[in-house]
Structure 1
């Protein structure tokens, strides 16, 4: 080796060492971030973290239908997730009501403008599956052996089809009976023993009806009819509620369905309840004003109802009533779940899954529950001190928790699924309205509604099978 080469060698070695140190430092930073992110998001995050090494964070667009205070709380959850790691950034976009949001998705399907993650109300589940545009949640669960044992089985049950969890529950509720404890005392009724049967509700409504005040009012809401059937262990549509095979006809006009409307109409005829129409907001306002002593509403309304009656009277809660002697059934979960769209990149889909896991964590679910009134989807959330404190402050919510846990799993309580569910619910409400307005008998109204729903189901099935 000549002298010139020997003089160059130390400089070359110094350059190589510097480059190695620089590379090591950069690699260490990425490695630490990747390790941290992987720890936070479990084994499925490597794909996302790998993409962040050389690019910007993966962007996940989430379309949702949470407005007002619910929307603010949802935005806070998104912000908490985005600030917790660097691999994925979620953008929440409000798209209007559930119906409006689903219509927008239909228009954007298979285009670049579609979201990665979609919030869909429970009755849109069959449609989402039939579009073949989603990646089942089970795919991600199986890929990393994600533990679902702590998730509420009665909630997962609704969104499970052919032994696959297709979407992850997010905001979940069921209906309960709300009653005015002070009005019960004034009427000589035991405020700690609310009615549990149709017969008991009718008797209590008569006792509670006084000058200018009515015993009860139930909004004309198809969801209530669906729940009252399930609470008797009865199915809404054929073929195992559309779960053993696609439904072909409605069972709305069954003996159980007719008995529900007969009970409802008899109380109206007895002038022990009043009809305030289709809006649950109207019955809530009447209840808060002390104009009615009982009503049916979602568990998600509990915080608002208790707050609106504070200083006026004490609110009691009870299980959804059922006919005397009926021991089967239970409630079907309502609300919405999260779906991952399969036309987005693998990185985006994985990013959506990481966010979903964050939402399912006990602490996140506890936060969402106490600020909204929706059920936690994980049983571990009830171990969080904030949830214990909330239940102490709002003991009425224990009714909803107990009702969920005591529901017996069956095809009726798993819930009906059909591609025309929104239309079916509207037709059900029309039938209820016809009965309460004396234009049709319970049997005739439900016969007509069942025929119309069955026709729509069959038309839908032909479209799907093409």
Structure 2
């Protein structure tokens, strides 16, 4: 697709993504120059960490339940304004709140797509074209960018009140999961990141990334720089519900019903109300 549009190299910055998406549209990709999944993860959460600006106070919630959302700053507003403008002629085309739009990449409709590195398994199985994964784009006028990305994933919860024997079984299972060879195998097969440094080191020693360098891309992003308070991670109560509400506001902006600033101001205000409710019920 890039060759067809006479694009010589993979875009590194957001302005380059926007420009290349316009060229791709002109080259025949009329319904989608670029798109992405997990709209808040890409355009608020990772955007903020990658540019070393806060998503919320108190180290994005890691340092206290009284965290306050702060993602309605100049960078985030400018970025949403860019998406709103590009949405008008489908240079950018919104693909939903979760990852349901990923088929638009594997089908060849959207030649540039932002989503989780865990998309690799689907791409490898379904894409009928050459592909790669590149680092997330950044705005070159933001001092210090890019910073480091934050990890996605999930939590593994273990209930209390078990017997010593039961806890031995749980410990055995966790040891099974974190086994170096097993982590390397899962990483190679799926694109999910290894959960230990030992597994990453072993995959590297085996020369895995020489043939598939795009599988190292997210690991290089995570370790790009020493984390700051803005890029250590996130801990916000009711995160799933917060994301839905933030997505709702972004959708209002993309539909032209609110300005980017109005949408993000509203997302912050409504989100802070949700966080204060969570704070009352949180276990200190």
Normalised TM-score (structure 2): 0.89
Q: Relative to 1, partners in 2 of residues 1:385 and 1:268: Cα closer, same or farther, differing over 3 Å?
A: closer
- 1:369-380 to structure 2, matched below 5 A, reads 369-380=187-198
CA 464–275 in structure 1, closer or farther in 2 if over 3 Å, else same: closer
Compare the two structures and name the one with the higher strand fraction.
1
Counterpart-to-counterpart distance in 2, 1:276 and 1:378: 33
What's the CA shift for 1:248?
Answer: 3.6
Give the 3 Å change call, closer, same or farther, for CA 385–452 of structure 1 in structure 2.
closer
Deviation at 1:401, TM superposition (A): 2.5
Aligned partner of 2:36 in structure 1 is 218
Instruction: Indicate which of 135, 141, 154 corresponds to 1:319.
Output: 135
Match of 2:47 in 1: 228
- The answer to whether the aligner puts 1:399 opposite 2:233 as a matched pair is no
Query: Displacement, 1:413?
Result: 1.6
Equivalent in the alignment of 2:4 = 186
The residue number in structure 2 matching 1:11 is: none
Q: What residue in structure 2 maps to residue 250 of structure 1? A: 69
Which residue of 2 is the match for residue 337 of structure 1?
155
* Unmatched tracts of structure 1, length 5 or more: 1-182
Aligned to 1:201: 17
**Of 374-383 and 196-205, the range deviating more from structure 2:** 374-383
1:46-82 CA-to-partner distances (Å, cap 9, x unmatched) read xxxxxxxxxxxxxxxxxxxxxxxxxxxxxxxxxxxxx
Q: Which has the larger radius of gyration?
A: 1
In 2, Cα distance between equivalents of 1:291 and 1:212:
7
Per-residue CA deviation, residues 183-205 of structure 1 (Å, 9 max, x unaligned), is 11111111xx3112111111111
Q: Tell me if the contact between 1:381 and 1:387 (Cα under 8 Å) persists in the aligned partners.
A: no
Separation (CA, whole Å) in 2 of partners of 1:272 and 1:215: 5
| Residues 237-283 of structure 1 deviation map (CA, whole Å, 9 limit, x = unaligned) | 2122112222342112122221221121122235422223334232x
Kindly indicate whether residue 235 of structure 2 is the aligned counterpart of residue 412 of structure 1.
no
Q: For 2:70 and 2:243, how far apart are their aligned partners in 1?
A: 13
Looking at structure 1, the residues matched to 17 and 3 of structure 2 have their Cα atoms a distance apart, in angstroms, of 16
Structure 2 unaligned runs (5+)? none
Secondary structure, counterpart of 1:217 in structure 2: strand
Q: C-alpha separation between the residues in 2 aligned to 1:444 and 1:465?
A: 33
Distance 2:278 2:204 in 1: 46
Count the aligned residue pairs.
Answer: 279
Change in CA separation of 1:394 and 1:281 when aligned onto 2, cut-off 3 Å = farther
CA drift of 1:383 comes to 4.9
Q: Higher relative contact order by CA 8 Å / sep ≥ 6: 1 or 2?
A: 2
- C-alpha contact 1:419 1:460 (8 A) present in aligned 2: yes
Other structure's SS at 1:209 match: helix
Aligned Cα root-mean-square deviation (Å): 2.2
Q: Assess if the C-alpha contact under 8 Å between 2:54 and 2:70 holds in 1.
A: yes
2:171 counterpart residue number:
353
User: Quick check: 2:59–2:232 contact (8 Å CA) kept in 1?
Assistant: no
| 1:218–1:295 CA contact under 8 A, matched in 2 | yes
Asked if structure 2 preserves the Cα contact closer than 8 Å seen for 1:220 and 1:432, the reply is: no
Normalised TM-score (structure 1): 0.56
For residues 334-381 of structure 1, give each alpha carbon's deviation from its aligned partner in whole angstroms, at most 9, with x where no partner exists: 012323322222332232123212322211211221222211122222
Give 3-state SS (helix, strand or coil) of 2:11's partner: coil
CA gap 1:382/1:455 in 2 versus in 1, 3 angstroms: closer
Q: Does 1:267 align with 2:86?
A: yes
CA contact (8 A) 2:149 2:221 kept: yes
Q: CA 1:299/1:226 → structure 2, altered by over 3 Å: closer, same or farther?
A: same
